[in-house]
């Protein structure tokens, strides 16, 4: 039975832990994924945003008309877009795997694994042990056991974010099931490229976990571009004789609907992969939703076993996984001087049209927690660059504590929201009060950042 000093499960953020600091240790790196490098590189953040950028360009045609510019009709070359994305990403994945195999102190296993005893891992036909483990195996898309999915013809046309981007052809029609990040982004991408998109969402709004004002505005604006049906429960799928799929749903009144399409995207969230590892055999405990339990040092209920990213974090975000990986790396190297992860102000973003970016409390959360708060809402269209854009739909909403004069939350909807939010994250992270942020620096005029400045000044503190 081979023994290692360290075993890392997962080749995404977990892989980044293993640098020259571990050259004197024997390390096992385990990943059964089809492609090396984890979710973000292969099927998540990076390829999706490489699709979003051309989608933004395609959808700019209508906006251009509002400012007197005729860009003609948008036309998307799906194979060229797809090949540009994966022509860059796949070599990075392959090169990363080849480089890891060349590391003299790292043994790479590309098979499924599960625990068979305390710190004892079965990998294919081999069992290994290790002094310490890092659980960084990520997550996978959740697909309910819908009636009709057992039909191979139907199953071949039902996709998740893992494979929808590698389609051979752009579908003429697509039904997206879900109302979160993934559904919102792919609705933008495919509709911008000319696909007839229908979104079926079970709740009353898209992005229901966002601040209520953001969710309502986003829902309204997305509905102007795609066929959006709310409060829909999926009943099942059925193949037609036209080589298409019928998605059947039912609304709150019990009325049934049939939606015919060439392809279906199921975007209902992701499941932590801890359930595939038989964690109980090594004593690691999990939350009811499957996430691995960790303390502030990212250590599990078993000393010497750490976890990070989607396997343990409720915030399934790459920047969170990367932060936790740095924490775990330090704690592996300095077990007597461990540091805690900082999960105070975790931002997130939705790269759809419009963009959404958020950090901190929503107004509803501030109210539920009984916190004193004030809000300010600043429209893009009320600042000079907003005039230049002829913007009528987008805004910044801030929530602050009138006693401490600190931001409690920031929520942005509109162009460049994912960039505009960064100074607000910085202010919260470094405990900068609102008056100092608003008046203690120059704000370039007439840059779009003035919408943030004016929102800060609008807080009645």
Residues taking part in catalysis: 445
Structural contact between residues 434 and 454, judged by C-beta atoms closer than 8 angstroms: no
Q: How far is CA 134 from the centre of its chain?
A: 22
Distances (CA, A) of 421 to 46, 364, 453: 20, 20, 11
Backbone angles phi, psi at 150, to 5 degrees: -75, -10
Q: Which residues contact 129 (CB under 8 A, 6 or more apart)?
A: 1, 2, 3, 4, 119, 120, 121
- Measured CA to CA, the distance from residue 186 to residue 141 in angstroms comes to 14
Neighbours of 81 (CB within 10 A): 19
297: which DSSP letter? Answer: T
Residue carrying the six token digits 């604006």: 221
Structural contact between residues 16 and 36, judged by C-beta atoms closer than 8 angstroms: no
Residue carrying the six token digits 């602050």: 400
Structural contact between residues 345 and 354, judged by C-beta atoms closer than 8 angstroms: no
3-class SS at 250? strand
Helix axes 78-102, 45-66, angle to 10 degrees: 150
- Measured CA to CA, the distance from residue 457 to residue 158 in angstroms comes to 49
- Measured CA to CA, the distance from residue 350 to residue 119 in angstroms comes to 38
Burial of residue 69 (CB within 10 Å: 0-12, 13-18, 19+) is exposed
Neighbours of 184 (CB within 10 A): 26
Structural contact between residues 120 and 127, judged by C-beta atoms closer than 8 angstroms: yes
Residue-wise burial string across 214-240, b where 16 or more C-beta atoms lie within 10 A, e elsewhere: bbbbbbebbeebbebbbebebbebbbe
Helix (H) or strand (E) holding 438: helix 434-439
Backbone angles phi, psi at 270, to 5 degrees: -130, 150
Q: What is the dihedral of CA 389, 393, 399, 405, to 10 degrees?
A: 30
Cis geometry, peptide bond prior to residue 55 (ω within 30 degrees of 0): no
Q: Are strands 158-159 and 106-109 parallel, antiparallel or unpaired?
A: unpaired
- Measured CA to CA, the distance from residue 312 to residue 353 in angstroms comes to 30
- Measured CA to CA, the distance from residue 375 to residue 455 in angstroms comes to 9
């Amino acid at each position: 039975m081979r023994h290692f000093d360290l075993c890392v499960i997962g080749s995404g953020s977990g892989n980044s832990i293993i640098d020259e600091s571990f050259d004197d240790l024997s390390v096992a790196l385990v990943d059964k994924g089809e492609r090396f490098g984890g979710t973000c590189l292969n099927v998540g953040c990076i390829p999706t945003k490489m699709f979003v950028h051309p989608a933004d360009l395609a959808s700019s045609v209508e906006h251009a008309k509002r400012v007197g510019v005729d860009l003609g009709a948008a036309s998307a070359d799906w194979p060229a877009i797809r090949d540009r994305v994966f022509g860059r990403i796949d070599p990075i994945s392959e090169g990363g795997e080849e480089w890891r195999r060349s590391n003299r102190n790292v043994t790479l296993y590309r098979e499924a694994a599960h625990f068979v005893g305390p710190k004892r891992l079965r990998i294919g036909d081999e069992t290994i042990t290790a002094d310490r483990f890092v659980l960084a195996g990520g997550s996978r898309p959740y697909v309910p056991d819908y009636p009709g999915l057992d039909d191979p013809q139907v199953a071949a046309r039902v996709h998740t974010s893992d494979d929808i981007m590698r389609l051979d052809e752009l579908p003429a029609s697509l039904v997206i099931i879900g109302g979160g990040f993934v559904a919102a982004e792919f609705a933008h991408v495919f509709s911008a490229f000319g696909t007839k998109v229908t979104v079926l969402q079970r709740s009353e709004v898209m992005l229901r976990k966002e601040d209520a004002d953001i969710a309502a505005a986003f829902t309204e604006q997305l509905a102007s571009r795609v066929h959006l049906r709310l409060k829909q429960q999926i009943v099942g799928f059925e193949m037609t004789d036209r080589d298409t799929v019928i998605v059947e749903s039912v609304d709150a009144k019990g009325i049934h609907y049939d939606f015919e399409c060439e392809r279906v995207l199921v975007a209902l969230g992701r499941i932590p992969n801890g359930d595939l590892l038989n964690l109980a055999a090594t004593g690691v405990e999990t939350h009811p939703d499957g996430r691995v339990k960790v303390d502030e040092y990212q250590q599990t209920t078993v000393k010497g076993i750490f976890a990070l990213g989607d396997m343990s974090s409720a915030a399934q975000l790459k920047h969170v996984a990367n932060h936790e990986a740095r924490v775990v790396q330090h704690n592996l190297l300095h077990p007597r001087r461990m540091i805690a992860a900082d999960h105070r102000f975790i931002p997130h973003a939705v790269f759809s049209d419009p963009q959404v970016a958020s950090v901190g409390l929503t107004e509803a959360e501030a109210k539920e927690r009984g916190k004193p708060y004030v809000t300010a809402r600043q429209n893009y269209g009320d600042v000079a660059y907003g005039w230049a854009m002829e913007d009528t739909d987008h805004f910044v909403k801030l929530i602050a504590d009138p006693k401490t004069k600190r931001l409690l939350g920031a929520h942005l909807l509109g162009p460049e929201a994912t960039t505009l939010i960064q100074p607000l994250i910085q202010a919260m992270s470094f405990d900068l009060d609102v008056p100092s942020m608003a008046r203690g620096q120059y704000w370039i005029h007439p840059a779009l950042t003035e919408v943030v400045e004016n929102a800060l000044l609008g807080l009645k503190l």
